[in-house]
Each structure stands twice: as structure tokens, then as C-alpha cells.
Amino acid sequence: MIRIKFEILEETINKVFLRQGIEPGKSELLAKIMSESSLDGFQSHGINRVPMMVEYIRKDFIKPGNEMFQIGGNNLYKQFDGNFGIGPINAWNSTTEVMRIANENGLGLVALRNNNHWQRAGTYGWKAANEGFILICWTNTIPNLPPYGSKKNLVGNNPLVIAIPRKGGNIVLDMAMSQFSYGKIASYARRNKELPEFGGYDENNNLTKDAQAIRKKGRHLPIGFWKGSSLSFILDIVAAILSGGNTTRIIGEKGVDTGLSQIFIAIDPSKFGDSGFREALITQTIEQFKSVSIKEGSDIRYPGEATLRRRKENLGKGIPLEEEIWEKVNGYL
Amino acid sequence: MIRIKFEILEETINKVFLRQGIEPGKSELLAKIMSESSLDGFQSHGINRVPMMVEYIRKDFIKPGNEMFQIGGNNLYKQFDGNFGIGPINAWNSTTEVMRIANENGLGLVALRNNNHWQRAGTYGWKAANEGFILICWTNTIPNLPPYGSKKNLVGNNPLVIAIPRKGGNIVLDMAMSQFSYGKIASYARRNKELPEFGGYDENNNLTKDAQAIRKKGRHLPIGFWKGSSLSFILDIVAAILSGGNTTRIIGEKGVDTGLSQIFIAIDPSKFGDSGFREALITQTIEQFKSVSIKEGSDIRYPGEATLRRRKENLGKGIPLEEEIWEKVNGYL
């Protein structure tokens, strides 16, 4: 593990994408989004994803020159076609647009089809909360999670984001439907460590904390057994029907994580009451959480708290990266 | 267990509430809502809740004569104060109002504070889907679920509903944040049966399927460990800040499940594309689900499917009720 300064990571990723022929404005935004994911500790959707994005650009799954365009809507909701452009940039622009609508009207909705992978879901929640908006957003993806009891992956590990702005630190839930991310399970498997809770099934279809066994079997646990797979199913359907786009089933047929459907709902909380009331309510709840200790030196965290903590630490000390991936990314230059 | 015809159950509940002094129009609607929950197999929020509602009316927690009133909003979102009136009726009227908004504008939002318990969350999802709308709604409640790792109940078992209209049978997710409902755990405990999956913790803080041990300890499992409790936390905060109402923490201080905050977001899918496209997408996904069998005679169910199946069966055969509760409810007449 090495530590790299945020600015250096951002500049390096920017250069890599410029070398892929992405125009400067897009390349800078994409580098910012991906290096911020790394800064926040989400390497799996930060620097670790750069090689896959390069590959997808080279294979023409991602078409960096393409712009998203409107296909329907009114002044309150808009439907866009992502045109298979750069996923995080389309999602970023959709977030900007839905906030603009909410700023005018109190709330707004954007449905986006044919987008590429938006990388870290939380990116859009943090952006909206930083600018004072509540954001509810989600995406579908390839079938990579089994419905409860099934041996076959039929639902997507569709992340759901709910973000609330707060002066004392935004609340940002960024929740995928599997108990542990694949990145986390891989990391536990590499270190030969047991997961802190059950994370999937072993060869004999028993629930297990053994990360290697879960990887071998390929049956990850959806959160709450049938509940997580049902939530995943319904988020998929809503995203597809509102955007006029693909469901997880159709994305699975293509075999590539492209042509996704995404939903963005923004609410302007300043129109619903004053910020003092809001801050007080949230702070009281957090304080109550903090008064209940789990074990020595540990406490109950609110969604986004650990992210903010890592961000601060990594801004100071540099971002911890695996040397191998750092070299690989530099190899594109 | 006895079976009672739907019409008889509805009439009986109506009479009970009329005897409590509820005016006829409200009484009929309340009886319809609660008997339909029983019809769908959710006794815990159907007939089994009638005694508690009677008690709450007698204790003046529920004020049947009170009407909800608007406290803010514009033509796209409205904030209401439930005025501590009849919970399911305020929620029903909020659903009607948010659908009216969505019908005009494509989408709408209603935030409701100071409402009483709305009983079965799915009620409002089914209503909206029956009338052609997508509905996302949720409520907060008393602190009855521990955040991950905590021994103290600090978050509410806040149900989240997402409903999609469909000619071939609505899709309705009605998902609380605990792995099993308290009613279900009580029922397993009574029958001395093991839960099908882990549902909470035993005396030694180990995960267990033993329903009696979970009841004894009082530590139910939030779905997905930290994920369910985080989702619960954030739904609570959003409901409270948009309605200007109470959070779970404040409701807990009162010690009674009253003064709740609720959110209703409606979307008119007919404005986002034609129903043929919608039906085809959903049907294809369901067919794929059905093609993967779990075990002999069983299949993967979509959200709402089992409800619809029970409804049909109970309409024909009568609703299965515990004799004791049927007698108790009749005792109010």
C-alpha cells in the first residue's frame, strides 16, 4: 500500500483519459469524480475502475464523444437518453438538472436511459447534499445477485442513494443490495479473513462468513434475504419504465454493464421548513446514537460519517492505494 | 382458526368504530382499509389492531373528529398536519391528493406530520397502483429496532412501500426494516417453530432462528445488519424534516405510537411512456424469475404476488382469523 496525494491522483487520471481521446472538460470532470471516490476510500469505484473504463472506451462500449439528449418530460420531470456516453458525466449532469428543477419547484425527477456505469452511486448524493438538496437516486445493472433461494443471478446489485444536506456533515446513504460489496469480499478473501457477518453461501448452500467460499460459489447474500432482492427487483423496474430503458434482464443479455437505467429525484428542503429546525432534528438523533456505545472505542455511525472521516484523513495523509493499480494506471501514460 | 366472509368482517369493524363515535363516512373507510388488510393476510394490521385502535380512541391519542389541514406547499408538493386524527384516513387522503398532483404534473409529493399509525403500509401502495400510479411512501414510528451492534432500540421499523401499476397484477413492495415482523416472530414462537432464517439475537448476543429467544431478548435483526438500520435512520429524518414533524427519537419520548411523520411520492407512469412497453418489460422479468425454480412446487415470487394470491383465496373461502380476536372485536358491539 502506498499513499498518493489527491491532486496527483486527479491529475494522473485526467491525463489517462485525455490519452484515450476524451475532450479536456469531460476528462477533468471524470478524473475529479473518480479520484474523489478514491479519496473517500471507495477504490473499487475510484482508481481501481480506471482500467475497465479505458477498456470500455477502447471497445466502444463507452462513447466519450456522445452527449445525452432529452426524449421527454415537462418542467418537472425530464427523460434523457445517455447515448452510451461517459456514465459518471451523464449522471452528474442529470443531478445538476434535477436540482435545477427542484430549486424552481420544490421537487423534480430525471430518468436517464442508455447510460454507462455511473461508478460510485454516492457521488451524486454528495454533490446534491453539498449544494443543499435532498437526493434519492438509483441505477440498475447486470444481473449479479441471486433472488432469495435462487442459484442463478437474476437481479442487479442496484445501489440506492438517499442524501440529506447538513451543515454539520451531510447524511449520505449509499447502499447496494448485497450485504458486502464484491470489492470487500475480494479483500477479505485475499487477506484470508472472516467477514464480520454472513455474506453469502458456501458450496453446501449454507450461509457463511468465509469470503473465499462465497467467491467460489458466486452466491452473495442480498441484504435481508428476500427483502433486498425484492427491493432490487422493484428499483430495476421503476428505473426502466420511467426512462424507457433497459431492465437488468435485458442488460444481462448484452453481457456488458452498459445501457443502464437511472433515476434521480431531488427535493429542495429549504422550501419545506427552515434549516435551523432541520439541523436540530438531525443533530439530536445523531447525539442519541452516539450516547449508545457498542464497544470500547466504537460508536454507532450515521450514513456518510465514515466516508467523511476517511476523506479528511486521506486529504491529509494521501490516499492509500495498492501499488500495483497505481503502476497500471500510470502505464497508460 | 375460523373463516369469516370479507363483507361480514368489514361490517363488523364498521359497527365497532361507529360505536366509538366515529362518523359514518370515516368509519366505513377505516373498516374497508382494516378488513382489506385482513383479507390480504395481514392480520397484524387488520382485525388484530382493532382493539388497539379502540383503546387509542378512548385514551384520546386518536381524535376521530379531527381533520388534517394544509400547512405549506405549492401545486407540486403539499405539507399537511394530521391533527392526530385517524391515521389510515389521513394517509388515504394524502395518497388521493398526491395522485391528483401527479395526474396533473407527472409527479407530486405530500408530507404529513402528526399523523397516527397508518396501519398497513401496503394499503396506500395498492390504492395508488389500482388507480394507475407509481407510489413511493414511508412512515416513521417508535424506536423499536436496534441499530447494528446496539443493544438499545433507537430506530423505527419504518416500512417503505414502492408500488407499480400493472394490468397483470400490481407490483407492491411493502417492506419494513426488521427481517421478520413482530407478528410473524410471535406466531413462530407460539407454534414453537424455528424461523426460516436468522431473525434476531439470543441471550448471548448470537444470531438465532429461535423465535422465543428473540422475543425474550428483544433484539430483532434489521435487514442487512447496518444497512437496514441506516435506511431506517434516513427515512425517519427525511420524513420529519419535509413534514416539519417528529423524528423517531421524539416519538419515543412520548412512548406512544402517535404523532408520526409520513411521505408520499406519486408518479404518473402514463406520462413517461405507453403501458404496452411497461407491461412487456415487467412481464418479461417476471417470466424469467418463474423460469428459475427454487425447489419442487416453489418459485421466485415478485413483490405483491403472494398478497394477491391470498386475497383471491380469502375472498372465496373467507378470511382465516383467530377465534379469540374475532370474539374480542365482536365484544365491542
Please give the C-alpha separations between residue A301 and each of A253, B248, B330, in angstroms, as whole numbers. 39, 17, 48
CATH number of A67-178+224-272: 3.30.1370.60
Single out the residue of B242, B241, B237, B50 nearest to residue B156, CA to CA. Answer: B237
Contacts of A289 in chain B (CB under 8 A): 147, 154, 233
> For residues A119 and A125, what is the distance between their CA atoms, to the nearest angstrom?
13
Q: Do B106 and A106 touch (CB under 8 A)?
A: no
Task: Give me the pLDDT at residue B299, please.
Answer: 79
What's the mean pLDDT when you consider all of chain B? 95
> For residues A47 and A44, what is the distance between their CA atoms, to the nearest angstrom?
7
Shortest Cα distance, chain B CAs vs residue A189, angstroms? 20
Element at A111 (helix H, strand E): strand A107-116
Task: Give me the pLDDT at residue A296, please.
Answer: 64
> For residues A17 and A65, what is the distance between their CA atoms, to the nearest angstrom?
12
Q: DSSP 3-state assignment of B140?
A: coil
Task: Give me the pLDDT at residue B313, please.
Answer: 97
Residue B309 has pLDDT above 80, yes or no: yes
> For residues B66 and B84, what is the distance between their CA atoms, to the nearest angstrom?
7
- pLDDT per residue as tens digits for the range B140-152: 999 999 988 788 8
Q: Which of A152, A179, A243 sits opposite B292 (nearest CB)?
A: A152
Residue A220 a catalytic site member? no
> For residues B44 and B233, what is the distance between their CA atoms, to the nearest angstrom?
24
For Cα atoms B274, A77, B168, give the angle at the middle one, nearest 5 degrees: 30
Residue B111 has pLDDT above 90, yes or no: yes
Thinking of the domain B66-178+222-273, which architecture would CATH place it in? 2-Layer Sandwich (3.30)
Contacts of A223 in chain B (CB under 8 A): 223-225, 227-228
CATH class of the structural domain B180-221: alpha beta
**Which parts of chain A sit beneath pLDDT 70?**
293-297
Question: Are β-strands A207-208 and A160-164 bridged in parallel, bridged antiparallel, or unpaired?
Answer: unpaired
Task: Give me the pLDDT at residue B295, please.
Answer: 67
CA-nearest residue to B160 within chain A is: A231
Range list of β-strands (E), B21-106? 69-73, 77-81
> For residues B147 and B126, what is the distance between their CA atoms, to the nearest angstrom?
30
The fraction of chain B above a pLDDT of 70, given in percent, is: 98
For Cα atoms B257, B261, B267, give the angle at the middle one, nearest 5 degrees: 135
- pLDDT per residue as tens digits for the range A173-216: 999 999 999 888 988 999 999 999 999 999 998 999 999 999 99
Q: Do B227 and A295 touch (CB under 8 A)?
A: no
- pLDDT per residue as tens digits for the range A153-165: 999 999 999 999 9
Task: Give me the pLDDT at residue B297, please.
Answer: 65
The residues, any chain, with a CB within 8 Å of residue A240's CB and separated by 6 or more, are: A113, A140, A246, A247, A261, B281
Contacts of A276 in chain B (CB under 8 A): none
Homologous superfamily assigned to A179-221: Hypothetical oxidoreductase yiak; domain 3 (3.30.60.50)
Q: Which of B72, B150, B234 sits opposite A171 (nearest CB)?
A: B234
Task: Give me the pLDDT at residue A218, please.
Answer: 87
Q: Do B77 and A242 touch (CB under 8 A)?
A: no
Total beta-carbon pairs less than 8 A apart between chain A and chain B:
206
B300 against B249, higher pLDDT? B249
| Residue found by looking up cell 403501458 in the block | B275
- pLDDT per residue as tens digits for the range B287-298: 998 888 666 667
Structural domain boundaries of chain B? 1-59+308-333, 66-178+222-273, 180-221
> What ipTM was predicted for this assembly?
0.97
Thinking of the domain B1-59+308-333, which architecture would CATH place it in? Orthogonal Bundle (1.10)
Element at A284 (helix H, strand E): helix A275-290
Interface test with B, best of A101, A285, A307 (most B CBs within 10 A): A285
Q: Which of B223, B248, B273 sits opposite A223 (nearest CB)?
A: B223
Q: DSSP 3-state assignment of A152?
A: coil
CATH number of A1-59+303-333: 1.10.1530.10
- pLDDT per residue as tens digits for the range B253-275: 988 999 999 999 999 999 999 99
Task: Give me the pLDDT at residue A295, please.
Answer: 67
Task: Give me the pLDDT at residue A150, please.
Answer: 85
Q: DSSP 3-state assignment of B192?
A: coil
Q: How many CB atoms lie within 10 A of CB A168?
A: 9
Task: Give me the pLDDT at residue B296, please.
Answer: 63
Q: Which of B106, B197, B273 sits opposite A76 (nearest CB)?
A: B106
- pLDDT per residue as tens digits for the range B71-94: 999 999 999 999 999 999 999 999
